Amino acid sequence: MNRRRRRKRIGVGRIVLIAALIIAVVVVAKVAHGASVNRANDASPNSGPADVSEELQAETGAGVVGIRPGAQTAAGPEDGREDGQVFLRPAPQETQEETGSEWPDEPGLAVGPAETEPPAPAIDPSQPMVALTFDDGPSATLTPRLLDILRDNGVHATFFVVGYNLDGNEAILQRAVAEGHEIGNHTMNHPHLRSLGSAELDQEIGAMRQRIVDITGQQVVPIRPPYGETNDTVDAHITDPVILWSVDSRDWADRDVGMACDHIYNDTFDGCIILMHDIHPETVDAAAIFIPWLKEQGYQLVTVSELGQYRSGGLNAGEHYFSIAAPETEAAETAPAETAA
Ligand SMILES: [Zn+2]
């Protein structure tokens, strides 16, 4: 009896196991069939998983077809996509919620090249701008302080340097250029150029120019003749734009922070060139005050070459500049007063 019951129990167990296997096989077969039908319905003709360029070309009114690569493909799992799925990017005319949410971040399918160019300078040519100029340096102590102020305010300036201040200060010029400023030629020895002969002019102008080129690599070196003094003989030795000025801070005469600021507050206009000297501590102290003020007034602070570039398409060699007005408001240029530059 015991034996028989045991056999009977074993027989029932086998039947249950076989039935379970049959159900399992049927389910697997149905699932496999359904998946293949879905693929046949959904996949586009160019459904190769790596054919991204053709997918992008397919971007029409109907939308973009994208294929998530399967685990077996070379795309690998690092892109976080699910395996082997095919899906349709919603067309632009579809509803907002669909277009925004249904397409996951797909860096591999991004349209257009990656942005590699540095951001353009934030100068708006249609807005007011002025050129700050600092003469007679560099100063080993004051010019770096001024460079800090310019950097902290995000503005640029032009430094008209003299030869007798260059030795040992070359790195200051290189820092200035690296930070977007411009170096100008203010001669070797700050002489009255009109009184010099040809050989001396070559030394004061040409040799000094070459010194600046050697230090900075600048191709154009705007020149400011000391005291603003030129004549035809002097000009014949000049191969760069001649930069004079239209606003005199009179920092060289007053040596006073408040007075330097007042001159700039009262006299600054769009396109002007402002004369200052970075060998006076009062000038650097004033710069920390009037530069934020100029920015608040809407002025963009640029180098003289930038002013020329934005306002007239570039500075011309040999031409004398006191200010550069916006093209549509061609204002008369202002001659500088006799002064010490
Ligand atoms: Zn000077």
Rounded to the nearest angstrom, the distance between the alpha carbon of 189 and the centre of ligand 1 is 10
**Backbone phi, psi, residue 227, to 5°:** 65, 10
User: What string of DSSP letters covers 188-240?
Assistant: SS---GGG--HHHHIIIIIIHHHHHHHHH--S---B--GGG---HHHHTT--S
| 187 Cα to the center of ligand 1, angstroms | 9
202 is catalytic: no
Instruction: List all residues 6 or more positions away from 59 whose beta carbon is below 8 Å from its beta carbon.
Output: 111
**Buried b or exposed e, range 299-325, using 16+ CB within 10 angstroms:** bbbbbbbbbbbbbbeebeeeebbbbbb
Q: What is the pLDDT along the chain (341 residues), one digit of tens a residue?
A: 444 445 545 455 564 445 555 555 444 444 444 443 333 333 333 333 333 333 333 333 333 333 333 333 333 333 333 333 333 333 333 333 333 333 333 333 444 444 555 554 579 999 999 999 999 999 999 999 999 999 999 999 999 999 999 999 999 999 999 999 999 999 999 999 999 999 999 999 999 999 999 999 999 999 999 999 999 999 999 999 999 999 999 999 999 999 999 999 999 999 999 999 999 999 999 999 999 999 999 999 999 999 999 999 999 999 999 999 987 655 444 455 555 56
The rounded Å distance from CA 228 to ligand 1 centre is 8
Please tell me the pTM assigned to this model: 0.64
The confidence score (pLDDT) of residue 19 equals 53
336 CA to centre of ligand 1 in angstroms: 14
Catalytic pick from 135, 136, 248, 251?
Answer: 135
186 as an active site residue: the answer is no
Question: For residues 159 and 325, what is the distance between their CA atoms, to the nearest angstrom?
Answer: 21
Distance between CA atoms of residues 7 and 280, nearest Å: 113
Residues with CB under 5 A from ligand 1 (ion): 135-136, 226, 341
In the set 156, 181, 263, 277, the catalytic residue is: 277
Q: What is the pLDDT of residue 145?
A: 98
Q: What pLDDT sits at residue 20?
A: 54
DSSP per-residue string spanning 266-301: HH--TTBEEEEETTSHHHHHHHHHHHHHHHHTTPEE
**If you measure from the C-alpha of residue 129 to the centroid of ligand 1, how many angstroms do you get, rounded to a whole number?**
23
Distance 252 CA to ligand 1 centre (A): 9
- Give the DSSP per-residue string, 130-191: EEEEEES---TTHHHHHHHHHHHHT---EEEE-GGGTTT-HHHHHHHHHTT-EEEE--SS--
